[in-house]
């Protein structure tokens, strides 16, 4: 009897804007291995991925929005059961990061292309549990102990 090789399911999650544009460059991973996208609901994001509530650190309603996103993330996780979480950041990715760590799934962080001379809050928070931590600028390596320079996604 031969073992059936199971497909890996990848969760690609990021905030909208530049993070989302970078993450969409990883579509070949979804095509090859299977998976799904998660981003924030904005006027610029069309139907297709799972859509979360948009928030940031300066938002007064951020704790409430993060709670809503956490519940939504858990529902998505139960439905999709990803093996790997890949993110370019930010707040919308945090619940998926926590679930990956708690459930011992692989977690990959790609530091944003938009920050060549300083670390991001998301990068500083998520680097300690990342199985792989990629940076898109050589200069970003100095901020993170285990960063791997891979060049830009664009």
pLDDT tens-digit map of 55-114:
888 889 999 999 999 999 999 999 999 999 999 988 999 999 999 999 999 999 999 888
Is 110 exposed, middle or buried, given 0-12, 13-18 or 19+ CB atoms closer than 10 A? buried
Residues 6+ apart with CB under 8 A from 25: 153, 154
Taking the C-alpha atoms of residue 112 and residue 33, their distance in angstroms, rounded to an integer, is 23
State the pTM of this model: 0.90
Q: In terms of Cα–Cα distance, which of 89, 41, 44 is closest to 65?
A: 41
Residue 122 dihedral angles phi and psi, to the nearest 5°: -60, -45
Give the separation between CA 98 and CA 8, rounded to whole angstroms: 19
- Look at residue 19 in the predicted model and tell me its pLDDT: 87
- Helical H runs in 11-140? 18-24, 27-33, 62-80, 94-102, 121-126
The mean per-residue pLDDT over the stretch 1-8 comes to 62
CA dihedral over 102, 73, 63, 116, signed as positive or negative? positive
Q: Which of 35, 148, 42, 128 has the alpha carbon at shortest distance from 83? A: 35
The pLDDT value given to residue 3: 53
- Domain ranges in the chain are 10-149
**Which residue in this structure is represented by tokens 């799972």?**
50
Instruction: Kindly report the CATH number that applies to the domain delimited by 10-149.
Output: 3.40.50.2000
Six-digit token pair at 139? 């200069």
The answer to whether residues 116 and 137 touch, using CB atoms and an 8 Å cutoff, is yes
Give the chain's length.
154
């Amino acid at each position: 009897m031969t073992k059936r090789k199971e497909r890996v399911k990848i969760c690609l999650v990021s905030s909208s804007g530049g993070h989302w544009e970078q993450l969409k460059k990883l579509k070949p991973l979804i095509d090859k291995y299977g998976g799904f996208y998660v981003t924030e609901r904005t006027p610029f994001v069309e139907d297709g991925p799972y859509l979360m509530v948009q928030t940031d650190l300066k938002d007064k309603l951020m704790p409430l929005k993060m709670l809503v996103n956490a519940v939504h993330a858990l529902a998505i996780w139960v439905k999709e059961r990803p093996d790997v979480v890949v993110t370019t950041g930010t707040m919308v990715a945090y619940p998926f990061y926590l679930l990956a760590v708690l459930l011992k799934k692989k977690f990959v962080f790609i530091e944003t292309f938009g920050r060549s001379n300083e670390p991001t809050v998301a990068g500083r928070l998520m680097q300690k549990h990342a199985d792989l931590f990629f940076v898109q600028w050589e200069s970003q390596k100095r901020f993170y102990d285990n960063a791997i320079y891979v060049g830009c996604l664009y």
